[in-house]
Each structure stands twice: as structure tokens, then as C-alpha cells.
Homo-oligomer: A and B are copies of this chain.
Amino acid sequence: MNSKIEKLIKQFAKLPRVGARGGQRIVLALLQDKTGRASALAAALADAAATIAPCPVCGVLTDSAAGMCEFCRDASRANGQLCVVRDLADVWTLEKASVFHGRYHIIGGLLSGAAGTLPDDLNIASLPQRIANENITEVIFALPNTVEGKTTQHYIMSAIGDVAGVDFSELASGVPLGGDLDYIDDGTLTLAFGGRKSL
């Protein structure tokens, strides 16, 4: 196989959920395409790599020429709520559901002994300053409902400490909408029972 093609397949194969066979299919589809998709994708990717960067305030990827991201620039989002999420995909998920209208803070990962992720690897240090600067009154944790997510949440809470006028909250745990009890794990059921609401 041509070495350039081989190299390109390897680069695509390393992308999430692509793999060797997927990489091969993608490279063949791109290089055999007669409408110039390969060049167009290369140009779009090079442009994005050169101009897209994390928002210096919240970490959302944005056009670096614009400075802050669309959320941090939007004054109507300065409602005192700050939602702490793991990554940008979670921001997109929350935006798609239209459930939150405040500001976001992307920490960029979770504390993990296995992966060797330490507090300094995450975007946590700037949180107290943001809370003061943006008159935050509620910090909502929307981190994954896992041991690592909860560990990270507790670390962040203790790092911020008690700040007058700032409440902390986390997303409710329980049975998902449309969830059949049959298919729900014991841990979720235990949380759902513990958090049962009076009717």
C-alpha cells in the first residue's frame, strides 16, 4: 500500500470509534471522491485548527478572534447560575434540551487515579474568581453520575469552600424518563428510592 495512504489511514483510525477498517473506508471514500471532498475537509480542518480555541473564561471551543464564546458574551445568560460540566459535548447536550440558561464552566475531564488525572490537569483553579466576577449565586454540578464524577464534584466543592451567597446543587439521580425498572441497575434504583418524592 502507498505509504501516504497508509499514514492517512492510521491517523483516521486513531479517531474515536473509527478503527483500522473504518479508517480504510473513510480514506478510500475521500480519495476516490471526484467532487473534492478530501481537499474541502482538509481545508475546513486546517482552518478550524488554526482559529478555534477554548474560551478563556469557560472553556467552550470558539472562534479565537471573537475572544470569549457565545455564552460568555451573551448578557442574558448572566443570571447568576453557573453549570459545571466535564466537556463541550455535555454543553451541546444541555443546550439541545434547552434546560439551562446560565453560564457554563468546562473542567475538561474528571479526577481519576487510573487515568492519572490530577486537579491541576482540570480547569478548576479559575472557579472562585469566576464566582466573584460574575456574581454567581448557584453552582450546578452536571458531571457524570459516576464515582469519578462525584469525586471530582466533592473535590471542587471543597476547593471553593463556603462562599457567602453561593449555593451548590447537583442534577437529580433516578429512573430516566421512559425507563423500565427491569432495565435499571441496582445503584440507580437505590438512589431513586432514597430520593423519592412525597406526592
Contacts and interface: CB of A to CB of B under 8 A. Distances in A.
B31 A52 contact: yes
Interface in A8-61: 8, 11-12, 14-18, 22, 24-32, 36-52, 54, 61
Contacts of A122: none
A108 B46 CA distance: 30
Interface stretch (A84-92, A141-149, A188-196): A84-92
Interface string A113-144: 00000000000000000000000000000000
Interface residues of A, number: 52
Contact of A16 (B1, B22, B47, B49): B22
Nearest to A106: B32
Interface string A79-114: 000000001110010010000000000001000000
A49 B42 contact: yes
Interface of A: 1-2, 4-5, 7-8, 11-12, 14-18, 22, 24-32, 36-52, 54, 61-63, 69-70, 87-89, 92, 95, 108
A45 B49 contact: no
A26 B31 contact: no
Contact of A39 (B18, B49, B61): B49
A44 B8 contact: yes
Given A26-B18, A89-B28, A4 B49 contact: no
A170 to B, nearest CB: 24
Nearest to A25: B16
Given A2-B70, A30-B15, A8 B48 contact: yes
A8 B8 CA distance: 18
